[in-house]
Structure 1
């Protein structure tokens, strides 16, 4: 049953954005805008490039989560699936599928950064992708969790961005600083990784709490 739910989530992503190609195209468009406007005249610092990377990752996750929830609401997939499995399984399946898709785009995005920006190197691909994946995991948990709350509101399309942006600010502030410390400290700096894992655990637990709240209200 869980595999059928995963398949349904992949189909929703394909219907909402035309697959991973659309996500990658959007990422490259934003990247090229900053490259043509700034990088061709003045080389961006490594910190600025990472900040741009986190901004694009937030944009991708925000669009993907929002469109996936919209497609499921229009098709009534969430309500229909609840008759066969629990809301927790649906929540985990949606988060897992969106996270896998964004990680694929993140890999292509980081490789593109190494081509366009001088301060981004291919040799750092593993570390850059690691923090992109951890940041995406937190953003996916946050977006889907807040989407569950937005579904109970009359202004569904407005509530999600109003809630997601302020809740994402701590992740940007601490996550970007954690990644910066990771590259400055000698060896593998576990504290930076554990900090982002804490954010993922916090937002994932928050989603479980929201599921219980909506279950009681219904």
Structure 2
């Protein structure tokens, strides 16, 4: 447990050193929202579905940036190779994934708030639900991105392989996840199947990443 907490501390430090912390991520998300607001919303009110699509697109960009930079810092500092002498690859994978996910959860809280302020078809009454789906989507992207980053460690392509593989693996999440969120708001009460679908993606990508890192260890 003590070693795992040390890993979490190390990963938080790498995120802060590579991106300037959560503030930089929030600034990036606000910039993207402001661009779409000034380009579209001031002339034509976006539909709720379009705004949620924008939200998921921003979440994808934020996750890609923070994962790529954190893994770059990890490789440059040789932290991954050094940590393998003390803990298992799965523990390293889970530590980095949970750390990045925690940071994205904080940024998602601010992102949903900003979307509610800028866009008329977003309401603060739906804040918790919008934040829930944003966090589940972020979790899936984090587990996927970190596992692909581990593969990139063993490849000559390095960071290039992450966007090449992350985009096709993310398409099912966008297609089914966004539809599940829209279905959630069309139903009365708490629509469990929509949340369950994203939990399935979360477990699937998390398990897939664990298998990947263990396979690389055996090789």
Q: Which TM-score tier does this pair reach, normalised by the shorter chain?
A: over 0.9
Partner of 2:45: 43
Work out whether 1:55 is the aligned partner of 2:51.
no
Q: C-alpha offsets along residues 1-56 of structure 1, whole Å, 9 cap, x if unaligned?
A: 11111000000000110100100000000000000000000000000000000000
Cα distance in 2 for residues equivalent to 1:30 and 1:196:
25
Regions of 4+ moved over 6 Å: none
Partner of 1:216: 218
Cα distance in 1 for residues equivalent to 2:104 and 2:121:
23
Listed as ranges, the matches of 1:188-199 within 5 Å are 188-199=190-201
- Note the C-alpha offset of 1:90: 0.7
Whether contact under 8 Å (2:149, 2:159) holds in the other structure is no
* TM-score with structure 1 setting the length: 0.99
**Aligned partner of 2:142 among 118, 140, 165:** 140
Structure 2 residue matching 1:179: 3-state secondary structure: helix
Partner of 2:7: 5
Structure 1 residue matching 2:188: 3-state secondary structure: coil
Cα distance in 1 for residues equivalent to 2:120 and 2:186:
18
Listed as ranges, the matches of 1:51-200 within 5 Å are 51-200=53-202
- Note the C-alpha offset of 1:185: 0.7
- Note the C-alpha offset of 1:135: 0.3
- Note the C-alpha offset of 1:86: 1.0
Cα distance in 1 for residues equivalent to 2:23 and 2:214:
35
- Note the C-alpha offset of 1:148: 1.0
Partner of 1:30: 32
Q: CA RMSD in A?
A: 0.6
Whether contact under 8 Å (2:8, 2:96) holds in the other structure is yes
- Note the C-alpha offset of 1:71: 0.2
In structure 1, list runs of 5 or more residues that go unmatched. none
Cα distance in 2 for residues equivalent to 1:4 and 1:201:
25
* TM-score with structure 2 setting the length: 0.98
- Note the C-alpha offset of 1:216: 1.5
